[in-house]
Structure 1
Amino acid sequence: REQLGAALTAANELIAVLNATLDSETAEAGRLAMDRAPFDPVRLARELVLLSRPHASAKGVELAVHVEPDLEAARGAVVGDVTRARQVLSNLLGNAVKYTLRGRVEVRLSLDEQSRVVIAIADTGPGLSAEELERAFEPFRRVERTGAGVPGAGLGLSLSRQLAALMGGELKGQSAVGVGSCFTFELPWDIGAAAPTEADESTLRGRIAPSRRPMRVLVAEDDALNAAMLRAILEQLGHQVVHAQNGKRAVELASACDFDLIMLDGRMPGLDGAHTAAALRGLGGPAGDMPIIAVIGGDAEEARECLDAGADTVLRKPVTVAGVARAVADAAAKGRDIAAGRDLSAFAVG
Structure 2
Amino acid sequence: MFVERRSEDLAAPGADTRLALDAQTALLPYALAVFAVSLPIYVWAGSFAANAGWLSASFAVFAINWGAFYGVAGWLRTPQAEDIPRRARVHLLSGLLWASAVAQMAAFAEGAGPARETLLLLAAGAAVICIFFSAPYLLALLITAPVAAAAPLVLLFSRPDSHRSGTLAWGAIALAMALSLVLNRMLRRQHALALAHEALLEERLRVVEAAERTARSKSDIVATLSHEIRNGLTGVTHVLAAAAGKGGRAAPSREQLNAALDAAQDLVAVLNATLDSETAESGRLAVDSVAFEPVRLIRDLVLLDRPHAVAKGLELSVHVEADLEHRQAGAAIGDPLRTRQIIANIVGNAVKYTVRGRIEVRVERRGDQIAIEVADTGPGLSIDEMEQAFEAFRRIERTGAGVNGAGLGLSLSRQLARLMGGALEARSAVGVGSCFTLTLPYDEHAACAVDLVGDTPQVTEPAGAPPRNLRILIAEDDALNAAMLRAILEQLGHQVVHAQNGRRALDLARTCDFDLVMLDGRMPILDGPQTAAALRALDGGNRDVAIIAVIGGDADEARDCLDAGADTVLRKPVSVAAVARAVADAATLDRRGLGQAAVA
Aligned to 1:78: 332
CA, structure 1 residues 318+185, in 2 after alignment: closer, same or farther (shift >3 Å)? farther
Distance 2:410 2:281 in 1: 14
User: Aligned residue for 2:352?
Assistant: 98
5+ residue gaps, structure 1: 204-262, 264-296, 310-315, 331-350
CA distance in structure 2 between the partners assigned to 1:37 and 1:119 by the alignment: 18
1:117 aligns with 2:303: no
Q: Does 1:3 align with 2:234?
A: no
Match for 2:494 among 287, 307, 310?
Answer: 307
Q: Equivalent residue of 2:280, what SS?
A: helix
Output the CA distance in 1 between the equivalents of 2:319 and 2:430: 25
Give the match for residue 434 of structure 2. Answer: 181
Post-superposition shift, 1:200?
7.2
Q: Distance in 2 between matches of 1:31 and 1:127?
A: 34
User: Is contact 1:136–1:157 with CA below 8 Å preserved after alignment?
Assistant: yes
In structure 1, the partner of 2:311 is 58
Distance 2:487 2:360 in 1: 41
Contact 2:292–2:450 under 8 Å retained in 1: no
Which residue of the other structure, out of 84, 87, 112, is the alignment partner of 2:341? 87
Aligned partner of residue 299 in structure 1, secondary structure: helix
| 1:196-211 pair list within 5 angstroms | 196=449
Shift of 1:191: 2.2
Q: Secondary structure at the match of 1:192?
A: coil
Alpha-carbon offset, residue 49 of structure 1: 0.5
Q: Which amino acid aligns with 2:400?
A: G
Q: Offset at 1:72?
A: 2.4
Moved more, 152-161 or 190-199: 190-199
In 1, distance between residues paired with 2:488 and 2:377? Answer: 42
**Whole-Å separation in 2 of the counterparts to 1:156 and 1:29:** 17
Pairing of 1:1-350 with structure 2 (within 5 A): 3-4=239-240, 5=257, 9-74=262-327, 75-113=329-367, 115-196=368-449, 298-300=484-486, 302-304=488-490, 306-308=493-495, 317-319=575-577, 323=581
Aligned-partner Cα distance in 2 for 1:130–1:103? 22
Q: Quick check: which one's helix share is greater?
A: 2
The equivalent residue for 1:240 is: none
Over 3 Å counting, the alpha-carbon distance change for 1:126 and 1:302 in structure 2 is closer
Shift of 1:20: 1.2
Once the two structures are TM-superposed, the CA of residue 66 in structure 1 deviates from its matched residue by 0.4
- C-alpha deviations, 1:12-42, integer Å up to 9, x for none? 4333222212211211222112122211111
Shift of 1:108: 0.1
- In structure 2, C-alpha distance between the alignment counterparts of 1:301 and 1:66, rounded to whole Å: 39
Q: SS of 2:484's equivalent?
A: coil
* Counterpart-to-counterpart distance in 1, 2:303 and 2:410: 22
For 2:376 and 2:439, locate their aligned partners in 1 and report how far apart those are by CA, in whole Å: 18
CA shift digits 1:184-241 (9 cap, x unpaired): 00000012311148897578xxxxxxxxxxxxxxxxxxxxxxxxxxxxxxxxxxxxxx
State the number of aligned residues.
235
**How much has 1:77 moved relative to structure 2?**
0.6
1:38 alignment partner, SS class: strand
Superposed CA offset, 1:247-286 (max 9, x none): xxxxxxxxxxxxxxxx9xxxxxxxxxxxxxxxxxxxxxxx
Length-normalised TM-score, structure 2: 0.35
Q: State the structure with bigger RCO (CA 8 A, min sep 6), 1 or 2.
A: 1
Question: Root-mean-square deviation (CA), in Å?
Answer: 3.5
Secondary structure at the counterpart of residue 330 of structure 2: coil
TM-score by length of 1: 0.59
In structure 1, distance between residues paired with 2:581 and 2:310: 23
Residues in 1 aligned to 2:416 and 2:450: alpha-carbon distance in whole angstroms: 25
Distance 1:134 1:143 in 2: 10
Distance 1:91 1:195 in 2: 23
| Matched position secondary structure for 1:54 | helix
SS for the counterpart of 1:298 is helix
Larger CA deviation: 5-14 vs 18-27: 5-14
SS in 1 for 2:358: strand
Question: Gapped runs of 5+ residues in structure 2?
Answer: 1-235, 241-256, 452-457, 463-467, 469-482, 497-573, 589-600
8 Å Cα contact 2:291-2:450 kept in structure 1: no
Residues 38 and 195 in structure 1, CA contact (< 8 A), matched pair in contact too: yes
Cα deviation, residue 323, structure 1: 5.0
CA distance, structure 2, for counterparts of residue 148 and residue 99 of structure 1: 10
Residue 48 of structure 1 deviates from its aligned partner by 0.4
